Amino acid sequence: MRRLPIYFLIDVSESMVGTPIGQVQEGMRAIIQQLRVDPYALETVFVSIIVFAGKAKVLSPLTELYKFYPPVFPVGGGTSLGAGLEALMRDIDASVQKTTLETKGDWKPIIFLFTDGNPNDSYQAAFKRWNEKYRRHCSLIAVSLGDNVNTRILSQITEDILLLKQTDAESFSKFFKWVTASIKTTSVSVCEQNADTIKLAPTTGINLEKIDPNQHAGTTDENFVVLHGRCQTTRNEYLVKYAKHSEPLKGLEMFSATDFKLVGAYPIDREAYAALSDGKGVKINTLELVGVPTCPCCGNQHGVVACDCGGIFCVGEQSSNECPWCGMRGELSNCGPEGMNIARGLG
């Protein structure tokens, strides 16, 4: 039997925390559910999920549909698209059956790449290897989740670049239906017509747009700031996400005032996070942050308190506090500007 390998190469960097990662998780479940009741897909489709943040990981190896269970998605720090692509190429080498003189191998693998940001690793070597050895033998569909991706970078590895403009629940759900429909039509065409090319479903009625990277470069500045906190009470870890908000200054149209508005705070699995992170921290001036969440682990009132060591932790009613990162103890009330800084919004 010739299999149709479908790879999902998914960005799970910190900015995906919250709604986007929840939607991707939900979307993957819906895709598998719908493909399982499709006779053509059931016959040919094999699915694999590879995630990347600072590092890459094969979450689900290439598996036939009826045995496939959508995994739980972790998040990590960093966006190493190069590492993600390397993991994909390694897996294609190991799992996809090549066509030889004697036997017909698998159908051309289809890769759906979902990303919401720009790579921060040196991806050039991986891109070069991809273009030389794999690109002709695969169909790679790159999808920018939101308008924060420099699509010129993606255009170095594929011609098929799509932009999902809105990233609310409804847009995501329509988008995943489109992915499902595209996989279904492709599996019909390989079964019935022996045609080894991807057939994308029409995008009418979806917030999905094919991008010409020469016309569209995306907004290349980062739209999110994500802080990595540790709960003082439980020692569990969490992420606090802020969205960038710029407003032109009156009379100074060249300039704009920028601040970061709170999106939410989310507990994370410390080990999964560490395994996927590149360890490159980002320093942020907490004065630009608007709004402070309660701690998502213990409910303490102040979820963003910064220690001198750079660590973020939670603080409640108690007057004496210990930084769960470095162990420094301090009285919040008598901390000068050199001591513990509380983010703006606490007054």
249: buried, middle or exposed (CB in 10 Å: 19+, 13-18, 0-12)? exposed
Q: Is 229 in the site for Zn ion (CB under 5 A)?
A: no
DSSP 163-223: EE---SHHHHHHHHHHHHHHHHHHHHHHHHH---S--PPP-TTSSEEE--TTT-----S--
When the beta carbons of 119 and 296 are compared against Zn ion, the nearer one is 296
User: Would you say 198 or 295 has its CB closer to Zn ion?
Assistant: 295
Q: Which is nearer to Zn ion, 53 or 314 (CB)?
A: 314
Interacting residues with Zn ion between 315 and 344 (CB under 5 A):
323, 325-326, 328
Contact residue for Zn ion among 309, 318, 331, 346 (CB under 5 A): 309
- Residue with smaller CB distance to Zn ion, 48 or 232: 232
Regarding 307 and contact with Zn ion (CB under 5 A), the answer is: yes
Note whether 265 binds Zn ion by CB under 5 A. Answer: no
Please report how close the Cβ of residue 265 comes to Zn ion at its closest, in angstroms.
Answer: 10
Contact call for residue 296 and Zn ion (CB under 5 A): no
* Residue 112: how many other CB atoms lie within 10 Å: 21
Quick one: DSSP state of residue 294?
P
Looking at residues 173 to 192 of the shown chain, list those that interact with Zn ion (rule: CB under 5 A).
Answer: none
Total residues in contact with Zn ion, by rule CB under 5 A: 14
By C-beta, is 32 or 340 nearer to Zn ion? 340
Question: What minimum distance in Å lies between the beta carbon of 5 and Zn ion?
Answer: 43
| Cα separation values, 159 from 80, 90, 156, 322, Å | 20, 22, 8, 52
Tokens encoding 322: 């210990």
Q: How far is the CB of 279 from Zn ion (least distance, A)?
A: 17
H or E segment at 87?
Answer: helix 81-95
**Taking a C-beta distance cutoff of 8 angstroms, is the pair 67, 91 a contact?**
no
What is the binding site for Zn ion (CB under 5 A)?
Answer: 231, 233, 295, 297-298, 300, 307, 309, 311, 314, 323, 325-326, 328
